[in-house]
Structure 1
Amino acid sequence: MERLMFPQIVHDLLVLIQILVIASADLCYVNKEVANCSDRGLTSVPSTLPENITTLLMTRNKVVDIEGFAFKQYANLKNLDLTNNKIKTLNNHSFSGLGCLESLNLEYNFLNLSHNAYPALCFLGLVSLQRLLIGNNVALEWFLNPRGLCNYPDKAIGQLQELQELSVDGLPNGVFGLGFSRLRHLKRICSITFFLSITVLGLIYRYRWRITYFYYMVRDRYNLLRHQDDVERQFISDAFISYASEDRDFIDTLCNNLEGQGKRLVVHHRDFRPGEPIGANIVKSVQTSRHTVLILSGSFLASHWCRYEFEMARMEAVYDSRSVLIVVKIEDVSAADVPRELLYLMRSDSYLEYPDNAEDQVIFWVKLGEAISN
């Protein structure tokens, strides 16, 4: 009986000694096959844990770098949690030897989605990995140079052919490379930041002119309500002239002819209020003028501000239910260069074309004056 008990006592003592060594050396708590090394201030992977552990928790430590073969003695690991460390880069073979690993969590570190942070062989050997979490990482380089981070690390992730779930941060204009084509078992990609940001940015871009118009409209009408008792629409001018600076000579001629007829005009080089944002000046001029006259030319089509003026006038026509736009074509332009909305306007409504001979020009100025008065 005593002979049977002696080996058991020795075994228990050895286990106790092992636990004490682990606790004193690495400050980790081991319970059966689970090693909890969280909140221990560790800067590297512990080397004296039981080799048969299947779960290793190393959250909220100070690990900056995962060296090659750092986990080679823990070949039975199935779950590895390295969240909330300070990891900036991985190395080739960082996880080599972990052929049984099924879940790897690297969230809340400082890993950017570059090939420098994820070298091609960093996940080599993870033949059983099904779940990889690398989202919610904060990388200063991303914010400083977002254009430099446009490709997901497909060479590294492409090694994980058994991967089923991937959580990853979103990249502006992010590109999933050819490596992702090898992930035939992938069922889920979770990238909330990516899809949300792309959706929001897409909507903002699509409705950018409406958003801009509404901003200035609300601001100006709020000021009107504050400073005026009578809020009825009062037009300050008959026409706001939208033109490119290269067409300034024609604008001088236009002002001489139309103002000679008693028309009140707004032209930006002369009438915009100094110190006021250009966008605010444009919206105010559109809203306080009966019409906006577009001086269509090649230079007009190449000008960002001319496009802005056209879009603001178009929004005014839609939301104030009145005829706003008058198009004056002063030179031949390619239909391919004309914005779709402006091309539709020209095809559905009449527009004026500036003639070459002097007699027709007299008639042209009369017709333009009448159009502005209507």
Structure 2
Amino acid sequence: MHKKFFRQVQIRSSVIQHSKRVLETLIFRRIGSSVFYYNPPVYYDFFIKLKVVNLTISNSGNKFIACPEQGNHFKFIDLTDNSITSDFFFQDCKTLNLLETLILQQNELHQFYKLSTMTRYMTSLKHLDASQNQLTLDAKTNCLWTNSLKKLNLSSNRLTDLIFTCLPSNLEVLDVEKNNIYIVPQRVNNLEMLRELYLGSNKLVRLPECSNFRNLEILYVEGNSYQEPSSNFLQNCSRLTKLNAASNPFACTCHLRDFSRIKENTQVELVGWPESYQCFYPVNLRGTLLKDFYLSEVMCNPVLLLLIILSSITVLAVVMGLTCHFLDLPWYLRMIYQWTQVKRRVMKTDLQQLHENCVYHAFVSYSEQDSGWVKEHLLPNLEERENPFRICLHERHFIPGKGIIQNIISCIEKSYKSIFILSPNFVQSEWCHYELYFAQHRVLSEQSNNLILIVLEPIPQYMIPSKYYKLKSLMAKMTYLEWPVDKSKQRLFWANLQAAIGTKITAETEETLL
């Protein structure tokens, strides 16, 4: 700097310094030099001896400001847009005990720890602005702050989550917008007095817990990365009066349902509502305003949904049970199942082998007391059809002079099937017992399935004599047909019986019979 300039500065400085009056405000902007040589001590000495309350030196490229002399009157210092670093600036400076506001915006500050130690002797400092620098904090350190600081602006730096471990106590306003903060730790000490917190344009993946900031009134978290704010967020933030959560990639799911009704359920002022609050996920809802997003209670409450499903299933089961009871549906289902099973077995059976020794389609065993049903119902439906079955009856086909047991065995062996008409009368007949015994013996010896049981009347287990253990065993293992009293069901009964017999006797066998 030109020597003439220094002489002018010294003259003006001496006028200011020796003046009994203290200047209220002195502003320097764009201080520059047109020559390459200047004397730094003289230059810095000019500022530290000023009798000024409010000093501004901006846009001047200053790299350093010396600690003022004892007895200075500085309450406000603005050093915006210079080149000051935090390595030696105001370190161990004990003369700024009247300073209330210090603005270091847009400089070259790097070490956050040095920034804190710079303030420890500024016992009156309330507002510190260190925004738009390059401050970093790499590890947990024991930061040394003045206890008087109330407002701290650290926006537009390179700070991370660790910043919350190195903050001054009694802080009321904190601005850390435009940094690299992902989460606010769940346990934050010495911030119970915080009233305003600005976290916009960071990388937050979840909203901060208000339990850490019991007196929080204003919260700015716009432009971050969280998708689903906690459902109890507003409950924890009982003193919150203003919230800016705009321009986040909200996931419109059940977790967001309560938050989307924030305007209806609270008196909190929502900055940017509703146009800046839109669904980002899922894709089909992208662009939908949160105020228009809705999911029912049933869709979001698994317990309620489960109760509704179980109730519906129970009601449906009761309705089906009553329907089955009044329409006798189980009986129809059993008949249909039996018919399909018989058809399947017939398709897999070698008819040539089964018919080799058969003369009759079926041998019928019944009690004489049930002969009326056999002659009036059974025979007409089996023998008087388009393709009649040949039915073997003891009264028609037993050979006179031949023993009864021999006739029974002969008829059973010559019949493709053996039909037993079961009723309380049947279990009282000795000869029916023999017929059943030999028919069952044939089933076991030939490994065939030629028994057809028709329950004409229900037979209680206690009515079956102990000697009929084979009948009990058969009824427990085999599927049997039940004669329906309802005429509307009898057509299906005959169809099932005909399907169960379901075979044709070869022409050679018929000629032999004739």
TM range (shorter): 0.3 to 0.5
Q: Which has the higher contact order (CA 8 A, sep 6+)?
A: 1
TM-score (norm. length: structure 2): 0.32
TM-score (norm. length: structure 1): 0.43
Structure number, greater radius of gyration: 2
